[in-house]
Amino acid sequence: MKDVILVLGASGQIGTELVLNLRQTYGDSNVIASDIKDAHPDVMASGPFESINVMDGNRIAEVVDKYKVTQVYHLVAMLSATAERMPEKGWALNMESLFHVLNLAKDGKIQKVYWPSSIACFGPNTPKQNTPQHTIMEPSTVYGISKQAGEQWCNYYHHKYGVDVRSIRYPGIISWKSEPGGGTTDYAVEIYYEALRKGEYTSFLDKGTMLPMMYMPDAIRATIGLMDAEAEKVKVRTSYNLAGISFAPEHVAESIQKFIPDFKLDFEPDFRQQIANSWPQIIDDTAARTDWGWAHEYDLDKMTEDMLKNLKVKLGL
Ligand code: SER
């Protein structure tokens, strides 16, 4: 059967690049982008787009039916910082939309589901160094609780109803094409914009706040790699740990200074510091490497070079 893919959240940071990448592999007309708001012009111009509010399960089902969709990538979520400001709305959005998609798979309307979890599923009691695949979790944010619960529901639907659902615990994702919104790791994107625009940046996370991070091309390769893996290789049906690089704000600054020697970094931690303090610093992703052959490519300097090169063009500098 021909694969037809629906991406929910195609206007978001990951959705934008995922749609463009999937269209290269599966053909433009076989990848349906959708979101509540219009997507990036490149996404709008290169293939079908449907307006979908993921809280409306009937609307998702209607689009699945219209295009004979076989796979759904469900990327819509309210991220950690925003969800702390609107806990009930964050919980409702993150959970109800997941059920809409899992139930379509349970009813045999779609064959495969991708749904991202996050390092936010871990909490203050989790080992911070080389965080194992299976460990104490106990998340302390609304977003983290929704991701942890979501992981368990994915696992339940897989074992109980045979749903082929796959998931990755994304670290903070850094990208130039599309911007993140409402996350605790967003500083690691903003810092590059401000380095080019102003030559200085004030970080809302403090010096020494080490977090797991990843450059977008690696995140996209991991996502598609997991979805393309043979089903029997995907042994973890909650969500896979995934590691790229780990760094603190001052490490990004040092990397930027290799290209912009006068770049200055200040620190003014806000409420997001507490969220960051509850997350791991370095993730052990042996299971992803062993089960389906994951390997990251970008280190910090390679990422910095690519970010600055592409952002300079984007910002017309
Ligand atoms: N980048 C996300 C956030 O900061 C973590 O998944 O909320």
Instruction: Write out pLDDT tens, residues 249-292.
Output: 999 999 999 999 999 999 999 999 999 999 999 999 999 999 99
- Residue closest by Cα to atom 1 of ligand 1: 172
Q: What is the pLDDT of residue 2?
A: 87
| CB of 15 sitting under 6 A from ligand 1 | no
Class of the domain covering 175-213+245-282+297-314: alpha beta
> 5-172+214-241 with 175-213+245-282+297-314: one CATH topology?
no
- Please report where in the chains the tokens 């929910």 appear, as a residue: 8
| CB of 30 sitting under 6 A from ligand 1 | no
Per-domain residue ranges of the chain: 5-172+214-241, 175-213+245-282+297-314
| Architecture of the CATH domain 5-172+214-241 | 3-Layer(aba) Sandwich (3.40)
pLDDT tens, position by position, 66-76: 999 999 999 99
At residue 49, φ and ψ (nearest 5 deg) are -135, 135
The yes-or-no verdict on residue 1 having pLDDT over 80 is no
Total Cβ atoms within 10 A of residue 71? 21
Kind of pairing between the strands at 71-74 and 211-215:
unpaired
Least Cα distance to 166 among 128, 216, 109, 110 occurs for 110
| Atom from ligand 1 closest to the CA of residue 185 | 4
Q: What is the pLDDT of residue 56?
A: 98
pLDDT tens, position by position, 72-114: 999 999 999 999 999 999 999 999 999 999 999 999 999 999 9
| CB of 170 sitting under 6 A from ligand 1 | yes
